[in-house]
């Protein structure tokens, strides 16, 4: 392309692309002693994907393959590619080989010369290869070492000094040891919800770039609320020059607004530092009237504006463009003094926001598959539909793809971003910390500008682990504490604040007491305190349906219960029905959480009489039960947290402002806390989350003493007046209510209000439901909220007693009709029942898609549900294949 043409299309990507040689696509892979050689490989990719594609191994997710394929992790693998380079390309002053992600330990060889090595899968590696390239064909080799062996070696070296625990995961994980010694996805050596597949490979894009003077490496933009009329857009542009030569030329920034494009041009004339890098800062004041504010999901549009930065050198041979989209918003984490403790909540654009959300584990156990846009989109769209406004990217996985953060910004889903350290102590040798600094630099510069990025956290649970001696560190506490401060404060936090000009929000751990932890030398006396910061709360023993047992923290960033994925998902990993027994070897193999299957059964027993024979199979009924129990328990806990947002109790607890349940997704088919299984199928929890996170809800807290408090909760930005709250009592044996009590209420914006309190036994027996001790087994509460007869919240219900002790009447529920109503694949499903029906559950066995609601209660004889089909299908086919079930037609319940 001629220079003239290049100038004309200065601001398109075309010129820049003339100086990129893309190395994605086909490569060759061999085992380094040639046991397996010259296999086709795909980049971005990884060794497990390549071995599967070559038919050397079967589906790694099938059966016990996670254990049977362990030989792969002990071998070293070499990736090769030949690339043709033109003289025009090679004539550029700077020629770099860029790997956006290398997993993890590798040596990089170009035409027989070692050009560098890698040791951190979260770093972008850039190697100057100009002097090693020739015009014509060049050979690139990437030699990967076994991560399991390297981790072991590093552990042995470290242990000459002192050991960094935990050395190995619990036996149940079937995992590998010493993952904390290496900078690789921590859960790739197994976790309590996932298998061990310690992959190696080029897991992100790879290319060769060439330029004369400079290239834009990162654009880190930050929106600052300057004054009532202006935003300031602070932009740090990081530019590179390998030879540390003076960089000259022009930088142009272009911001789209509602009224016009705002452009700024500055001359560049600077000398790169010792790393060959130069940072140029541009500030732009933007009138607030020119742009709409960016809002989280549920509070307004999440408007983003195009923002381009272009560099052109003097002779116009270099054109480098970075395109992004920016939202104008102010985010604060408020930790203010209360009589007891500190608050802990987020404000966006000065509005305190209750964070409704979930925790994300890696999109896939194979990191390259986690880049798949379709899968990212499916998860985030589902979260958005559930009114989720925050997702925590958990610290044992990966910093997700650019697309993930672009989409969360578009959807108004704030991100709580952990740095990738989880459930372990970590080394602090000079080389380790240097490696971490590289990681922080790359990831913070890559991620910070996304509008969705709200807070960075140093690690997952390591403050608690250290304080509570999870890994026997107590005897040597001061050493591990010193390491803790060195890693998370002196290294990570300092680097993070340097990049963000002290404006970024950073907490040291999750959970943490926030400022209180900081004041206690970063490790609080009780990091799980309800009076400060966030908590993680898991209860597998106490009755989950009783709200007395839940804490009332400032922010609950993890809580959850396990369930089983659907039978169709199970039959993609086994074809043996005996494997579907909760007591089978296979089930124990897939259940990594120590005592997990016992806990799962214990949860069911609070709800149902599960007969002994159900231990033989976890057929549909058993799976269905676990999904009900999970959905119901998480719903009760979530609604409890939401109900605590406006009040403080005498012990200082309250003002709860966040509920992020554990966990959104899965990395294989197994018992887990997820709401969406590995194959993308929604569990009942996913459907229920659309309701328990709705902007306005009516809910209850049922205490051990059978006192029932009814709450009206609103996240809306303005008050809602004259609402009718209907508290209906039904006897289980009739669709005709026993009693309806209507209350007229107003709910303030962003608040929770206790609108009524009952003694359930007194109230229900007075209504004729039975004696003081039997009334609660015969009747239940049904709650709804309307305004001018239009529903403003999902209906809700309270079971005053365990379902297993309630006198539920058998219902006959059926699908009357299914009809297509739109070309977009939406079908209407008409359902009828002759009695109150519980947890009515629709499943589309063949055709993928989701229902508008599922797992619901029917108190009326008829109901309409929509099915969004993801595949072409017909009315008749769906009528034949969609199944419907409900609690009483499951054989375990009736004990037949």
For the chain, the 3-state helix, strand and coil shares in percent, each to the nearest 5, are: 25, 35, 40
At its nearest, how many Å lie between ligand BMA and the CB of residue 461?
5
Contact range with ligand BMA by CB under 6 A, out of 82-90, 191-199, 731-739, 856-864: 191-199
Q: Where are the alpha helices (DSSP H) in 732-782?
A: 760-766, 775-778
Angstrom distance (rounded) from CA 245 to CA 238: 15
Which of 135, 47, 132 minimizes the C-alpha distance to 97?
132
Nearer Cβ to ligand BMA (558/677) = 558
Closest by CA to 226, choosing from 328, 335, 351, is: 328
536 binds ligand BMA (CB under 6 A): yes
Asked if 416 touches ligand BMA (CB under 6 A), the answer is no
β-pairing, 707-714 vs 194-196, is unpaired
The residue (of 365 and 712) whose beta carbon lies closer to ligand BMA is: 365
How far apart are alpha carbons 606 and 825 in whole angstroms?
40
Binding flags for ligand BMA, 579-598, as an x/- string (CB under 6 A)? --------------x-----
Closer of 341 and 395 to ligand BMA (Cβ):
395
Token pair for 577 = 């029905």
**Paired sense of beta strands 720-731 and 779-787, if any:** antiparallel
Q: How far is the CB of 423 from ligand BMA (least distance, A)?
A: 5
Residue 88 designated active-site: no
3-state DSSP call for residue 596?
helix
Which C-beta is closer to ligand BMA: that of 184 or that of 450?
Answer: 184
Q: Radius of gyration (Cα) for the chain, nearest Å?
A: 29
Restricted to residues 417-456, the positions that interact with ligand BMA (CB under 6 A) are 422-423
Question: Which pair of structure tokens corresponds to residue 773?
Answer: 């001790």
Neighbours of 663 (CB within 10 A): 21
> Can residue 192 be called a binding residue for ligand BMA (CB under 6 A)?
yes
**3-class state of residue 658 by DSSP:** strand
Q: Minimum Å distance from CB 644 to ligand BMA?
A: 22
Give me the torsion for CA of 361, 364, 368, 372, rounded to 10°: -100
Site string for ligand BMA, 734-753 (x = CB under 6 A): --------------------
3-state SS record for 297-357 = CCCCCECCEEEEEEEECCCCCCEEEEEEEECECCEEEECCECCCCECCEEEECCEEECEEE
Residues 452-491 that bind ligand BMA (CB under 6 A): 460-461
Q: Which is nearer to ligand BMA, 636 or 670 (CB)?
A: 670
The one catalytic residue in 406, 410, 461, 639 is 461
Per-residue mark of binding to ligand BMA, 813-832 (x: CB under 6 A): --------------------
| Cβ atoms 92, 211 nearer than 8 A | yes
In angstroms, what is the minimal distance from the CB of 96 to ligand BMA? 38
Q: Token pair of 843, please?
A: 């499943």
Choose, by CB under 6 A, the member of 105, 173, 193, 555 that binds ligand BMA.
193
Phi-psi region of 201 (alpha: psi -120 to 50; beta: other; left: phi over 0): left
Using CB under 6 A, which residues numbered 615 to 634 contact ligand BMA? Answer: none
Single out the segment in contact with ligand BMA by CB under 6 A; choices: 190-198, 302-310, 739-747, 827-835. Answer: 190-198
Return the residue of 222, 558, 599, 691 that touches ligand BMA, per CB under 6 A. Answer: 558
Q: Which stretch binds ligand BMA (CB under 6 A): 189-197, 321-329, 350-358, 715-723?
A: 189-197
- Rounded CA gap, 379 and 666, in Å? 11
CB of 603 to ligand BMA, least distance (A): 14
- The question of whether 461 is a catalytic residue gets the answer yes
Q: Determine the 3-state secondary structure of 7 from DSSP.
A: helix
Q: Which of 176, 368, 558, 639 is catalytic?
A: 558
Determine if 191 is a binding residue for ligand BMA (CB under 6 A).
Answer: yes
Closest CA to 361 of 50, 687, 45, 672: 672
Q: Decide if 647 contacts 657 (C-beta within 8 A).
A: no
Task: Considering the complex, state which of residue 496 and residue 662 has its C-beta at the smaller distance from ligand BMA.
Answer: 662
Q: Is residue 664 at the binding interface for ligand BMA, with CB under 6 A as the rule?
A: no
- Residue 687 three-state SS: helix
Contact 634, 603 (CB under 8 A): no
**Residues that contact ligand BMA, how many (by CB under 6 A):** 12
Please, what is the minimum distance in Å from the beta carbon of residue 470 to ligand BMA? 11
Query: CA 462, CA 722: separation in Å to the nearest integer?
Result: 48
The distance of closest approach from Cβ of residue 487 to ligand BMA in the complex, given in angstroms and rounded to an integer, is 18
Please tell me whether residue 371 binds ligand BMA under the rule CB under 6 A: no
Residue with smaller CB distance to ligand BMA, 296 or 565: 565
Closer residue to ligand BMA (CB): 124 or 557: 557
Site string for ligand BMA, 673-692 (x = CB under 6 A): x-------------------
Q: Which sequence positions are flagged as catalytic? A: 461, 558
Chain positions contacting ligand BMA, by CB under 6 A: 191-193, 422-423, 460-461, 536, 558, 593, 662, 673
């Amino acid at each position: 392309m001629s220079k003239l043409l290049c100038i004309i299309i200065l601001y398109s990507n075309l010129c820049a692309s003339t100086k990129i040689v893309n190395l994605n696509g086909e490569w060759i892979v061999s085992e380094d002693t040639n046991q397996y050689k010259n296999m086709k490989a795909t980049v971005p990719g990884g060794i497990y994907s390549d071995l599967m594609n070559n038919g050397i191994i079967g589906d790694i997710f099938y059966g016990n393959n996670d254990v049977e394929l362990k030989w792969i992790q002990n071998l070293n693998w070499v990736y090769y590619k030949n690339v043709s380079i033109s003289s025009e390309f090679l004539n550029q002053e700077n020629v770099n080989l860029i790997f956006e992600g290398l997993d993890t330990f590798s040596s990089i060889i170009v035409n027989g010369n070692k050009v560098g090595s890698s040791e951190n899968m979260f770093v972008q590696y850039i190697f100057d290869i100009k002097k090693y390239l020739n015009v014509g064909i060049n050979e690139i080799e990437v030699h990967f070492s076994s991560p399991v062996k390297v981790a072991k070696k590093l552990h042995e070296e470290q242990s000459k000094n002192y050991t960094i625990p935990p050395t190995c995961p619990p036996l149940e994980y079937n995992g590998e040891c010493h993952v904390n010694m290496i900078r690789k996805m921590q859960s790739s050596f197994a976790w309590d919800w996932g298998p061990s597949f310690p992959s190696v490979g080029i897991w992100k894009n790879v290319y060769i770039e060439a330029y004369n003077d400079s290239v834009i490496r990162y654009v880190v933009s930050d929106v600052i609320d300057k004054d009532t009329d202006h935003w300031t857009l602070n932009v740090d542009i990081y530019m590179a020059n390998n030879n540390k030569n003076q960089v000259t030329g022009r930088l142009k920034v272009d911001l789209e607004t509602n009224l016009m494009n705002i452009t700024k041009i500055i001359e560049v004339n600077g000398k790169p530092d010792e790393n060959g890098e130069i940072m140029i800062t541009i500030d732009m004041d933007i009138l607030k009237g020119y742009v709409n504010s960016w809002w989280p999901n549920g509070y307004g549009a999440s408007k983003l504006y195009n923002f381009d930065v272009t560099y052109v050198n003097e002779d116009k041979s270099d054109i480098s463009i970075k395109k992004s989209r920016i939202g104008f918003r102010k985010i604060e984490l408020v930790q203010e003094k209360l009589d007891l403790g500190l608050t802990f909540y987020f404000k966006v654009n000065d509005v305190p926001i209750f964070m409704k959300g979930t925790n994300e584990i890696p999109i896939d156990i194979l990191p390259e598959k986690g880049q798949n846009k379709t899968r990212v989109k499916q998860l985030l769209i589902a979260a958005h539909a559930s009114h989720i406004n925050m997702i925590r990217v958990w610290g044992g996985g990966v910093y997700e793809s650019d697309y993930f953060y672009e989409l969360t910004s578009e959807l108004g889903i704030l991100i709580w971003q952990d740095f990738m350290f989880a459930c372990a102590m970590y080394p602090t040798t000079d080389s380790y910390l240097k490696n971490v600094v590289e990681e922080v630099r790359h990831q913070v510069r890559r991620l910070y500008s996304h509008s969705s990025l709200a807070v960075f956290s140093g690690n997952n649970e390591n403050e608690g682990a250290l304080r509570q001696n999870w890994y026997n560190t107590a005897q040597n506490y001061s050493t591990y504490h010193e390491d803790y401060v060195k890693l998370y404060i002196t290294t990570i936090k300092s680097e993070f604040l340097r990049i963000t000009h002290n404006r970024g929000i950073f907490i040291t751990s999750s959970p943490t007491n926030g400022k209180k932890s900081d004041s206690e030398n970063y490790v609080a006396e009780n990091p799980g305190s309800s009076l400060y910061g966030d908590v993680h709360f898991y209860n597998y023993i106490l009755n989950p349906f009783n709200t007395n047992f839940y804490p009332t923290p400032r922010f609950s960033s993890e809580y959850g219960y396990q369930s089983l994925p659907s039978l169709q998902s199970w039959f993609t990993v086994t074809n043996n029905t005996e494997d579907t027994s909760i007591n089978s070897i296979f089930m124990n193999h897939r259940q990594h959480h120590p005592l997990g299957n016992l806990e799962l059964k214990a949860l069911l027993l609070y709800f149902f009489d599960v007969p002994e024979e159900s231990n033989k199979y976890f057929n549909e009924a058993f799976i269905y039960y676990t999904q009900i129990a999970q959905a119901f328990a998480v719903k009760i806990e979530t609604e409890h947290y939401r109900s605590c947002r406006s009040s403080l109790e005498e012990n200082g607890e309250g003002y709860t402002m966040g509920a992020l349940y554990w966990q959104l997704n899965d990395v294989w088919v197994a018992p887990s806390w997820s709401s969406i299984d590995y194959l993308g199928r929604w569990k009942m929890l996913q459907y229920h989350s659309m309701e328990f996170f709705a902007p306005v809800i009516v809910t209850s807290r049922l205490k051990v003493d059978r006192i029932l408090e009814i709450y009206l909760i609103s996240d809306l930005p303005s008050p809602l007046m004259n609402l009718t709250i209907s508290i209906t009592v039904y006897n289980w044996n009739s669709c005709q209510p026993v009693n309806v009590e209507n209350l007229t209420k107003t709910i303030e914006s962003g608040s929770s209000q206790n609108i009524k309190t009952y003694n359930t036994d007194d109230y229900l027996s007075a209504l004729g439901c039975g004696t003081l001790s039997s009334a609660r087994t015969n009747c239940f509460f049904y709650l709804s909220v309307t305004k001018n007869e239009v529903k403003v919240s999902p209906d809700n219900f309270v079971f005053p007693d365990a379902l297993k002790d309630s006198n539920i009447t058998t219902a006959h529920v059926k699908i009357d009709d299914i009809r297509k109503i739109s070309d977009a694949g939406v079908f209407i499903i008409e359902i009828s029942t002759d009695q109150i029906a519980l947890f009515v559950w629709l499943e589309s066995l063949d055709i993928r898609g989701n229902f508008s609601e599922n797992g619901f209660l029917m108190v009326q004889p008829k109901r309409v549900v929509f099915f969004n089909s993801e595949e072409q299908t017909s009315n008749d086919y769906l009528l034949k294949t969609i199944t419907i079930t409900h609690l009483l037609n499951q054989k375990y319940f009736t004990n037949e």
